[in-house]
Each structure stands twice: as structure tokens, then as C-alpha cells.
Amino acid sequence: MVSIKLFLTDVDGVLTDGGMYYTESGDEFKKFNTRDGMAFELLRQAGIKTGMITSENTQIVARRAAKLKADYLYQSQRDGGKLAAAEAICAQEGLTLREVAYIGDDLNCLGLLQRVGLAACPADAVEAVKQVPGIFILDKKGGEGCVRELVERILTTL
């Protein structure tokens, strides 16, 4: 296995179940899994940097990233922006994409998934993502602890 020094994740469909919840007044809600939150702590304890890269741009995600003490948060990343964000983080950290683990679930994650050292996806990812060569398809679905599942596997193989 590749030596992982940076863990990156998509948000909607990975850290959440992909649902968009709205109240009558227009407030948005997202449900995050607390076990995925502990995964960030486990990574930090192991000396692995963390980050979130998402197409959305919300205060909900900013608050979640702050609570998890993620080292990096890139929002509004579309049209190849996720790969560019990961490359920028790698440049800042002095890493290569081969030292990155990334978990994503949808078409906008493909470019990054195809380039990282360890690519993974939730069990309910779209079929095109599941077809990425060498991708690790997790047992858990998005929002159900798939990040924790991947982190535990990474940490037991280091």
C-alpha cells in the first residue's frame, strides 16, 4: 500500500447521505455521521493531514470542517476544481498525489479519484466511480460511516 500523508474527502454523498434537506423557510440541513468525525481525530493522531473538497458552498460544511479541525476546506470546486484543489494542497505540503487518499461518490470526483494513490468510494457511489481502476469500494454508504471504514483500513495497514 502507498504511504498516505493526506486524506481528502468529498462531502455530499460521502460525509452525508447526499440528501438536501430544506425547511419551509428555506433553511438547509445536512446529517453527518459522528463516527466519520472520529475518523478525522484518528488521522490527526496518526500525523495525517485532512481536508474536504466539495462542489457546494455552505456555512454548514464550513462549520463541520472547523469542528473536525480539518486542515483544508475547498468549497465551490467544479469542472476539475477538485483535482486542482488537491494539487494545490499537495504543493503546499510538499506531497505528491500518490501520497493522497481520496473518497468520492459522483462524476465530479472522477478526475481526482483517477490520480490519487488510494481512491475509495461509498457503497452507493455512482457506477462510473465504481469503475475507476483500482478503486476501493467500501461496504458502507455515504453518511453511514464510510469515511471511518476507510480510515480504519488505512491506519491498520500503515
Q: How far is CA 93 from CA 70, 88, 142, in A?
A: 14, 9, 28
Is 12 marked within a binding site? yes
Contacts 24+ apart (CB under 8 A), 21-30: 28/58, 28/60, 29/60, 30/58, 30/60, 30/61, 30/64
Residue 105, annotated ligand binder? yes
Spatial CB neighbours of 146, under 8 Å, sequence gap ≥ 6? 14, 36, 103, 120, 122, 123, 138, 139, 140
In degrees, to the nearest 5, what angle opens at C-alpha 146 toward C-alphas 148 and 108? 125
**Is residue 79 a known part of a binding site?**
no
Binding residues: 10, 12, 105
* Binding site residue list for Mg(2+): 10, 105
Annotated binding-site residue numbers for substrate = 12
